[in-house]
Structure 1
Amino acid sequence: MVGIAVTGCDTLIGAKYRYRLTVEVETPEGMRTGSTVVEVKQWEAPAFPNPEAGGLRSSFRGEAVAVDLPGGQTLFVLLNTATTIAEYAYQPLVIGIKGPIERANAIKNTKLIAEVPIVGLTTEQASGQYRMSEASRYPIFVRFKDIRDRMTIKRVDPANLSAAFGQGISLRRMTVQITRDPISTDMTKRLPWLKTMRPGSFSEKNVRSFPLGLIDIVDTASFSTEIPR
């Protein structure tokens, strides 16, 4: 489980919920899809032993999305923005409800499991639909030149997948929805070397050869919090 501080006013207190993030990619061989289930928990920490220790906290469990593409290639959509993505999942359920505790209860008691487009071909924001409009809030997209070697990781531009994977490959859309499905736990089948790594830094001793754009961003929890130890 990864814990982080929460900023912003649109928060939930005492909420624990799961969402499914689905990524759809257009290819010359047809649509390719991958999805993952992530669990998010928010709580209010006590201001002890000092005021700085208090405030809203958030944690998540789950795994990155993996999309199998033509030619044996795989696109990974990482967990780094898991709590940001979660906002798109619960927003339609709390419209008009004030107060973080009340919003948390609304999610807990809801029977609505709605698919919400967060980025895709449509540009309008219809009632109950939320779309990512800021590229800075997108998840991190990566690939491996050699999936057996973590040091071959490369960041991928979601607006230009063809540059990394070949002509005719593009992001169609990402959707998110509240779900009660189990948390995803299959990433070590794709990346068995995750089980041999210490939690934390992806680069470890090979800092000089690790891509500079990812060295302070990617760690084992970017791919999975469910690695058997």
Structure 2
Amino acid sequence: MAFGDINRRRFIALGSAGSLLALSGCATVGVYRYKVALEFDTPSGPRSGSTILEATYGWHATLETMFAEDLSIRGEAIYVDLGQDKFVVGLLNTGRMLPLPALYDVLGWARPDIHELRAHEGKLSGKAPLPGGEAPILVTFTGLDNPDTVKLVYEAKLNRRLSYSYDYERKMQSVKEVSRGSEVTSDNFEAAFGKGYVLRGATLEIVDPKTPFTTTVRDKLGAILSRIGNAGPVVEGVITETKSVFRLQRTHLVQGL
């Protein structure tokens, strides 16, 4: 499955046509710099790595009783040096590592959507673990100048389960996330690196908006970036909702920079 730019628009029904009057046009609700960090156990001890990303949440009016949630992401993938010339890359642009789904529950919000973000005046903050499929897909490359050498290392199934009810106060459908998938669909650490390598955890944290973007992927994988486009090599083993193939694209490594 070729995932495109993660500039997404989600259509949400409002309770009445009159609600659109307050939403005519478009607006940015919030821009957030955030850190995603990964921790690993290795034969030589703990290893960690992180990236700084930026999410812009907004909306725009569409049809008579609809508006669309917009999300754009800037930054680069997570590069983690595991020692002994081994490394993993946590990919962008797969529906994972997003601040609103990660943080809404620890903030006590009802649901992870633009309605809730607007209701709280865009005040998204805090730190939370990324369980199961919220953690990034991990890959490695056996050749530092060849994107075709990409290998899947780890993936957990992204499987958000939602419950639906009607919010009479806001006159709109209410959506609540009741569970998240944690099924590990691929664990190829031993095949890729040998024994003793384990993903220990992943976290997401809102940081100062002036925090600079990381440059590790561009520094370490510049040759691969120069040779990859929007229809890159197939990454064997990645599970997709459409049961199609997953092609590595440049936007899985760097986006908006």
TM-score of the superposed pair, with normalisation by structure 1 = 0.72
Q: 1:165 aligns with which of 193, 202, 224?
A: 193
Q: 1:56 aligns with which of 69, 73, 76?
A: 69
Residue of structure 1 in register with 2:152 after alignment: 155
Structure with the largest fraction of helix: 1
Q: CA deviation at 1:213?
A: 4.4
Give how far 1:5 is off: 2.5
Larger % of strand: which? 2
What value does the CA root-mean-square deviation take over the aligned residues?
3.2
CA contact (8 A) 1:19 1:89 kept: no
Q: Per the alignment, do residues 87 and 222 of structure 1 end up closer, same or farther by CA in structure 2, a change over 3 Å counting?
A: same
User: Can you give the 5+ residue segments of structure 2 that lack an aligned partner in the other structure?
Assistant: 14-26, 156-183, 239-244
Query: Which runs of no fewer than 5 residues in structure 1 stay unpaired?
Result: 119-131, 204-209
Aligned pairs (5 A) from 1:1-229: 2-6=6-10, 14-47=29-62, 54-81=67-94, 84-87=97-100, 89-91=102-104, 94-96=107-109, 99-107=116-124, 114-118=126-130, 132-133=131-132, 135=133, 137-158=134-155, 160=187, 161-180=189-208, 181-197=211-227, 199-203=229-233, 210-213=234-237, 216-226=246-256
Question: One-letter code of the match for 2:220?
Answer: R
Q: d(CA) in 1 for partners of 2:236 and 2:58?
A: 34
Aligned to 2:104, the other structure's residue is in SS state helix
Matched residue count: 197
Decide whether the 8 Å contact of 1:17 with 1:39 is kept in 2.
yes
Distance 1:140 1:174 in 2: 12
Per the alignment, do residues 150 and 199 of structure 1 end up closer, same or farther by CA in structure 2, a change over 3 Å counting? closer
Structure (1 or 2) with the larger CA radius of gyration: 2
Corresponding residue number in structure 2 for 1:125: none
Residue of structure 1 in register with 2:175 after alignment: none
Aligned letter for 2:73? F
Contact 1:4–1:57 under 8 Å retained in 2: yes
Q: Give the 3-state SS of the residue equivalent to 2:50 in structure 1.
A: strand
After TM superposition, give the deviation of residue 199 of structure 1 in Å: 4.5
| 8 Å Cα contact 2:55/2:74 also seen in 1 | yes
Tell me the TM-score normalized by structure 2.
0.65
Question: 1:50-76: per-residue Cα shift (whole Å, max 9, x none)?
Answer: 679951111100111111113201101
Share of identical aligned residues, percent? 23
* Structure-2 change in CA distance of 1:217 and 1:96 (3 Å): same
| Alpha carbons 1:74, 1:143 under 8 Å: kept | yes
